[in-house]
Amino acid sequence: MSNAINTTAIIEGLGGIDNIAKAGNCMTRLRVTVHDAALVDRKKLQSIQGVMGLAGDDSNPQVILGPGKADAVCQEIQKRRGPSQAPSRDRVEEFNQKKKGRNQIFTIISQIFTPLIPAFAGTGLLYGIMKLLQYIYIYFGVQLFNPAGIADGGSVFMAALSVIAGSFFSIMNIAVAGQSAKVRGGNLFVGLAVGAIVTNVGALNGVSMGILNLQFKSGLGGTMAALIGGILAASIEKRARKILPNSLQIHFPALFSVVITGLALLFIIQPISGIVSDALSTAILWLVYNAGALGGAIISGTFLFLVSMGIHHIVTPINTLLLQEVGYTCLQGFTSLAGAGLAGVAVGLLIRYRDKKKYGKLRSAVLGNIPTQLLGISEPMIYGISLPLWKPFLAANLGGACGGLVLGLFRTQGAETMMVSGLLGALVNTEPLAYLLGYATAVIGAAFFTCLLGVKDENMAVFLDNETENINA
């Protein structure tokens, strides 16, 4: 079935093209906001070939399609909607307000950080590749891969790669502030300007604020300050647009937004965010050092539940905070091992259900998902296989907990970037061998629990051929 046909069926399941207020996507999910939740037909969406599952609620459904497909379907929907149907900033904010409390928080964080994932993943993976190249220099003496500074005889090529790899991280606060403003219905570029204040305070750097011995500091508060600043800038800008006459709409909303938000950032938000960031990173590191293996087991053994509910991006701000405060994030290693549990489920299913004639459909689905799972993309295995079978989903969490238990023994482990997981996670971890040991433990543990728990007959039925079902009947 072509992408166009799939897209048509998906649009119909969402209540028609006119019911789609906003459409976006991450690597594996189509994320939609609709006008009328009553028009969303979840049963129809789940029955569409190629749809692996659904998450979110009827007002903000998430259609899990898998890598590549989510982007293709989203682009097709955008084409069919056309520019005239693009939601205004006020309408985006209106639909965001439909989600209250914690659900709204999860949605906002996802909307802010999801578009940044490709930049995180691409530049982050380059760090891992550079590590491999450094080993080539260390063991084989290839000067091209000498990581030392140029003044110390290092390679210009490696220096260039370092510039490229660090490019996004150098503007991360700016990107977060801009996207925060956009998501909350403000102007993207006003948000970018606010993010630039967080990134570089210019001549104020190191100057005393005159209160509590605090000093101005570039980057103080990190992504937390940038996120709050972007949201505040959008709120002020929208308020100004409502009360100012049309003749003043071009200059003054942005002026008020940047000035008020900028002063609030410098004197209030950044100092407070800096204190909170320091406290949070200290608390997390304390837990890792003191809870260690137990803490790792809990994180790795529960993260798949967050992914299955579509709220896993809640940990992204914490990861960015740790990267900025410490230089690596211990959470990324633990959450990556949750995916290793799914790889173990694949192994366990292939071992227990070896009858190719009876379980050919299941084995084919498992084998098809193994490559993406090894790269750390978990949604296909979650929604396509483990959740429908249920017990393997539990086995994946148990296996992940085993891996997290082992990885937690290594207190200095952590990823030096984000969004790089699976086997590739070893390339960006401060303790690559420890990571691989934890990964292997998670795979073996999940495979064992999968073989032990098996699958209920009623859950397995969807993966049995019709002929097999008739024979068993």
The string of pLDDT tens digits covering residues 134-184 is 889 988 999 999 999 898 899 999 999 999 988 888 899 999 999 999 998
Identify whether 259 is part of a domain.
yes
Is the same domain home to 446 and 305?
A: yes
Identify whether 281 is part of a domain.
no
Is the same domain home to 117 and 263?
A: no
Pick the catalytic residue from 26, 74, 330, 402.
26
What's the average model confidence in pLDDT over 443-465?
90
Is the same domain home to 149 and 224?
A: no
Task: Please identify, among 148, 168, 188, the residue that sits at the C-terminal boundary of a domain.
Answer: 168
Is the same domain home to 32 and 118?
A: no
Q: Which residues pair with 61 in a beta bridge?
A: 56
Q: What is the pLDDT of residues 329-362, one digit of tens each?
A: 999 999 999 999 999 999 999 999 998 888 888 9
420: left (phi over 0), alpha (psi -120 to 50) or beta: beta
| DSSP tag of 462 | G
Helix orientation angle between 391-407 and 293-308, rounded to the nearest 10 degrees: 150
Q: Assess whether 26 carries a catalytic annotation.
A: yes
Identify whether 396 is part of a domain.
yes
| 225, 198 contact by CB (below 8 A) | yes
* pLDDT confidence bin for 109, thresholds 50/70/90: confident
Identify whether 284 is part of a domain.
no
What radius of gyration, in Å, describes the C-alpha atoms of the chain? Answer: 24
Is the same domain home to 35 and 45?
A: yes
pTM score: 0.73
Q: What is the mean pLDDT of the chain?
A: 86
3-state secondary structure of 415: strand
AA identity, residue 393: F
Q: What is the structure's pLDDT at 348?
A: 97
| 27, 62 contact by CB (below 8 A) | no
CB neighbours of 151 closer than 8 A, spacing ≥ 6?
none
Q: What is the domain extent for residue 451?
A: 291-472
Distance CA 59, CA 426 (A): 38
Query: pLDDT above 70 covers what percent of the chain?
Result: 92
Task: Please identify, among 117, 145, 168, the residue that sits at the C-terminal boundary of a domain.
Answer: 168
- Count of domains for the chain: 4
Is the same domain home to 265 and 308?
A: no
Distance CA 185, CA 93 (A): 5
H-run or E-run covering 56: strand 53-56
Task: Please identify, among 147, 168, 189, the residue that sits at the C-terminal boundary of a domain.
Answer: 168
What's the average model confidence in pLDDT over 46-74?
83
Distance CA 408, CA 108 (A): 31
Is the same domain home to 144 and 175?
A: no
Q: What is the structure's pLDDT at 116?
A: 84
Q: What is the pLDDT of residues 246-290, one digit of tens each?
A: 888 888 999 999 999 999 999 999 999 988 888 888 887 787 778
Is the same domain home to 313 and 232?
A: no
Is the same domain home to 164 and 303?
A: no
CB atoms within 10 A of CB 117: 15
CB neighbours of 93 closer than 8 A, spacing ≥ 6?
184, 185, 238
